[in-house]
Structure 1
Amino acid sequence: MDNEFKPALIIVDLQEDFCPPNGALAVAEGRSIAPIINDLLRLPFVKKIATKDFHPPDHVSFASNHPEPHNKPFTSFVTIPNPNNPNETHTSRLWPIHCVQGTPGAELIPELDTSLVDLVIEKGQDSRVEMYSAFEAPFRHPIVKEASSKLAQSLREAGVTDVFVVGLAMDYCVQSTAIDAVAEGFKTYVISEATKAVDPTEQGWKKTEKECDKAGVKFIALAGEELAKVRSMQDV
């Protein structure tokens, strides 16, 4: 077994507000991936992390926090400046209120076996910035340290080399988390059967795959060689 192979599992935002039947931003069939993820949690990953959107009520991504007429959930957009550099901006879609701190919608779904999770990261707590990635807000000049989740630090402290990303939603927070994982220097994979997309059409899925591939993220299957390497660690 490769002694330098230290894989981690990151479960992105498997929360009530992202799942049917009552989620404010429910992803179709979002709950259905929980059994697959629980099976993955039983594998010998050196670190098993779940992330949560954990927004304050005044979060910039909520359409209701913006003036009319440009405050329609799903169809309106807002240009957000870097709090530490107004010349750097990010344009983001506005959403319904979701995953507010202390509300049922922010909770991880009960189908997820959290007893097997080592660490829960609460992201998106800085009301000034959108944060799809579980690592950082989408600003680099400079990084918004106040919004940082410290996820990269947790992975490095565990000696992680490879990151396997699952959860919700494939074309938003899973994609951004995986791309940032590559940027942080980790070999990064998205497990296709363990994620669901907001846009599940062939066009939407392929677009995300292409963007991930360009960034160095590899989409893999449960039966692929990458997870076989993780499973083989059980025999060491």
Structure 2
Amino acid sequence: MANGARDTHTPFVPALIVVDVQEDFCPPNGALAVPTGRAVAAPINTLLTLPFALKIATKDFHPPSHISFASNHAAPDNVPFASSVTIVNPLNAAETYSTRLWPVHCVQGTPGAQLIPELDTARLDGVVEKGMDARVEMYSAFADPFRAPCVASSSLEQRLRDRGVTDVFVVGLAMDYCVRYTAEDAVERGWRTWVVEEGTRAVDAGNWDGVQREMEGRGISFVKMDGEEVGRVRALEAEGAQKVKSD
């Protein structure tokens, strides 16, 4: 479902998904540091003050044996960032996909897997962990890419449905991987989906424009902190206050 102009009388129940704002994705010491990644904390914290119906953070939470780690593959095809691997669905050998190999990152129980301290976690409603099945990559916070059948999924979809969410706002790290695939899965599952530009950064910043066009082609809209859609979330607070006053 593509985003577009809406009747202002239709339901608007927005959720905020804060994707993988973890130590290993942030300078200066992250194992897979996204350039200027730590800078997303300030705009995200501003968004967290707004009256979203649900505010969920996600975390990569890999076992040491995870298939995306270059060190778990044989040389010479195990160079982080440069090499790739074909992953076979462990439940259906006919289904495969190729993914980039990464440095070891966000391993369960390590400091690199923690949300950064700059993030205002007290305003979150919960944290969803992903990437825990060593056999599959899971960029999306909803599920791995396999469909016949899916191998690993999280509780995110059910949490959104339980709250009656209509619109999903996505921020975090990184725009061209986990933010992208989380947003694409949100659209696929029927939600109007928005990426707030100031709240994300890309691994490959030079590819931003191309990735954005591809995401927009799938029905995702890119918006600004001072734009109409975020403004609509802000307005919910005033609407709520007015309702209380009238009651």
Q: Which TM-score applies when normalising by structure 2?
A: 0.92
Asked if 1:169 is matched to 2:193, the reply is: no
Pair 1:150 & 2:158 matched:
no
In structure 2, what is the equivalent of residue 235 of structure 1? 238
Deviations 1:166-196 (A, max 9, x none): 0000011100100000011100000011100
For residue 169 of structure 2, what is the amino acid of its counterpart? Answer: F
Counterpart of 2:107, as a letter, is: V
The structural deviation recorded for 1:35 is: 1.0
Instruction: Give 1:13 shift.
Output: 0.3
The residue that corresponds to 1:88 in the other structure is: 95
User: Partner letter of residue 38 of structure 1?
Assistant: N
What is residue 213 of structure 1 aligned with on the other side?
216
Q: Percent identity?
A: 62
Equivalent residue number for residue 37 of structure 2: 30
CA distances 1:52-108 after superposition (whole Å, capped 9, x unpaired): 000000000001111111111111110001111110101011111000000000000
- Give the alignment partner of residue 184 of structure 1, picking from 189, 194, 199: 189
Query: Unmatched 5+ residue regions in structure 2?
Result: 1-7, 240-247
Which one-letter code corresponds to 2:16 in the other structure? Answer: L
The separation in 2 between residues aligned to 1:104 and 1:159, in whole angstroms, is 34
Q: CA deviation at 1:200?
A: 1.4
Q: Name the aligned partner's letter for residue 177 of structure 1.
A: T
**Partner of 1:105 in structure 2?**
112
Instruction: Calculate the aligned-residue CA RMSD, in Å.
Output: 1.0
Are 1:135 and 2:138 matched, yes or no? no
CA distance in 2, matches of 1:94, 1:33: 24
| Structure-2 separation of matches of 1:71 and 1:196 | 25
> Per-residue deviation at 1:215?
0.8
CA–CA distance in 2 between the matches of 1:78 and 1:28? 24
Count, aligned residues: 232
Mapped to 1, the partners of 2:117 and 2:10 lie a distance apart of 35
SS of structure 2 residue aligned to 1:58: coil
CA deviations on 1:2-55 (whole Å, 9 max, x unpaired) are 461100000000000000000000011111110110010000000000000000
Paired position in structure 2 for 1:64: 71
Report the 3-state secondary structure (helix = DSSP H, G, I; strand = E; otherwise coil) of the residue aligned with 1:22.
coil
Runs of 4+ in structure 1 deviating by more than 4 angstroms, as ranges, are none
Query: CA deviation digits over 1:132-176, x for unaligned, max 9?
Result: 1101101111122xx101211110011100000000000111001
Deviation at 1:211, TM superposition (A): 1.0
Letter in 1 for 2:84: F
Gaps of 5+ in 1: none
